[in-house]
Structure 1
Amino acid sequence: MTLRAWLMATRPKTLVAGVVPVAVGCALASTVTTLRPLPAVGCLAGSILIQVGTNFANDAFDALKGADTPDRLGPTRAVAAGLISARAMLIATAVVLSAALGLGLYLATIGGWPILALGCVSLVCAVAYTGGPYPLAYHGLGDVFVFLFFGLFAVMGTAWIQVAPDAAALIAAWWWVAAAVGLQATAIIAVNNLRDIATDAAAGKMTLAVRLDERGGRWWYGLLHVGAFACLGMAHLDGLGGKNGLIVPIVAAGLGGAALTLGVALNRGRALNRYLARSAALQVITGVSLVLAMSI
């Protein structure tokens, strides 16, 4: 068990899905209030811990269920490769999620019961994503999980912690931005599952990509980017952003999404690994442009 194996198990290239929604949530809140740094850091740390805990649990449970095998086309998984034992990975999952719980209790003192409830559900779903009696990812619900927890809930939860207890400060148009962030995060898991269709199907892991088949999975990936583009357009029409509105994020999401959709349509197997990284990169680019649009 090396440090390198543990770092690999965190899946660092995908951690942007936990960082971007918090940054965007803070940017949205900054348009109506003065940001509170400590709660912002707490949200960021909590989001990353939940994502790492989810990744650790996924690494262990997928190996135990036979979904991760030597035939997988994606990056090496620590437990399946024998680098870390399943027991050690599950212990690490418990430690990481316990730390997230501690942060959640602190944030609940600011955001109240909605944050407490959201935190508890997030922790349960982090394990239930691939573990428990009804693993979400094995029943085609992984995409829904990502959209909600790395989109709507993460963005709006962060914004709420900044403006609480003034519920009137929340702006309805923020939901459009939160949805766009969630759709781009979902695109990351969508291309991951598209790549793994064959091995997932063989292991009985009925992801949405397996259910849709390769052609449907590619259509789904493209629709996620179209949806993100449309949601940002709606937020722009609702008047969000500085003097130029959300033009730059819209262009980034539109052109980037179109290029990635074309690339995913033309590639198969291991070639899709680079589109996993590029999908994450597009979310970062869009997220940064959103933060800047709210600030200028």
Structure 2
Amino acid sequence: FSAPIFLWTCLTALSVHAAGNVVNTYVDFMRGVDSQRSDDRTLVDRLLTPEELAHLGVLLYALGCVGFVSLVLLSPAKMEHLALVYFGGLSSSFLYTGGIGLKYIALGDVLVLVTFGPVSVLFSFMAQAGYVDLGVLLYAMPLALNTEAILHCNNARDRESDARAGAVTVAILIGPTGSHVLYALLLFVPYMVFTVLGVHFSLWWLLPLITLPQA
């Protein structure tokens, strides 16, 4: 375990994640999705101007790239392997709402499941271990499902405003009842998986259950 690699990995992943959120805020506002009733009111309340937010996004992506270069120098992993996963994650964070805007054609949920679970965990593992092990993707699935639960909850809340802006999300397609069922599954299936693993393999798998009362 390398503490410097861990810190640079955190900086890199968090910067790209934050940049993706900034792009989402910017594009939603420019498309007219965000309004006075929206949860994200950064631009609606003029806390920042669109230009300032765009500059912040560029800065965060640049910071992520600095972290990536540092990891290339420090990590035992091959540069091409790190680059493939890193730039795949970076592109995904942008394309969620930027570019073709996968969020608006009901593909944003799939993108989040892949990016903020398997891709993030695989990148972190490679940076530390120096090799690729697809087995770590199994550990990423509970994280991916819980992350998707947060996204789906937001989309379910914003169904009406998204529909008015012409966006198509999974929450819109399956309706209120389906959204509630899907949210419950995304939130609680990981706990079920951890319980089964804890009973059959190691009690350490039960550790995430301490968060169940707050779920």
The answer to whether the superposition gives a TM-score over 0.5 is yes
Contact 1:176 / 1:235 at 8 angstroms: preserved in 2? no
Matched to 1:202, the amino acid is R
1:80: Cα distance to partner? 2.3
Is 1:126 matched up with 2:90? no
1:225: Cα distance to partner? 2.3
CA gap of 1:153–1:235, structure 2 versus 1, over 3 A, is farther
TM-score, normalization: structure 2? Answer: 0.88
Unmatched runs of 5 consecutive residues or more in structure 1: 1-34, 257-277, 283-296
CA gap of 1:175–1:238, structure 2 versus 1, over 3 A, is farther
Matched to 1:246, the amino acid is W
149, 170, 175: which is aligned to 2:137?
A: 175
Higher RCO, 1 vs 2 (CA within 8 Å, ≥6 residues apart):
1
Contact 1:68 / 1:80 at 8 angstroms: preserved in 2? yes
**1:117 alignment counterpart:** 84
Matched to 1:118, the amino acid is V
> Where does 1:111-260 land on structure 2 (aligned, <5 Å)?
111-112=77-78, 113-132=80-99, 134-165=100-131, 167=132, 170=133, 172=135, 174-233=136-195, 235-236=197-198, 239=201, 241=202, 244-249=203-208, 251-252=209-210, 255-256=212-213
**2:72 alignment counterpart:** 108
Matched to 1:149, the amino acid is T
CA distance in 2, matches of 1:149, 1:102: 20
1:177: Cα distance to partner? 2.1
- Could you report, residue by residue, the CA deviation over 1:153-181 in whole angstroms, capped at 9, with x for unpaired residues? 1122212221114x5xx483x33221011
CA distance in 2, matches of 1:234, 1:158: 26
Contact 2:108 / 2:169 at 8 angstroms: preserved in 1? yes
RMSD over aligned Cα, in angstroms?
A: 2.1
- What is the percent sequence identity of the aligned residues? 21
Unmatched runs of 5 consecutive residues or more in structure 2: none
TM-score, normalization: structure 1? Answer: 0.66
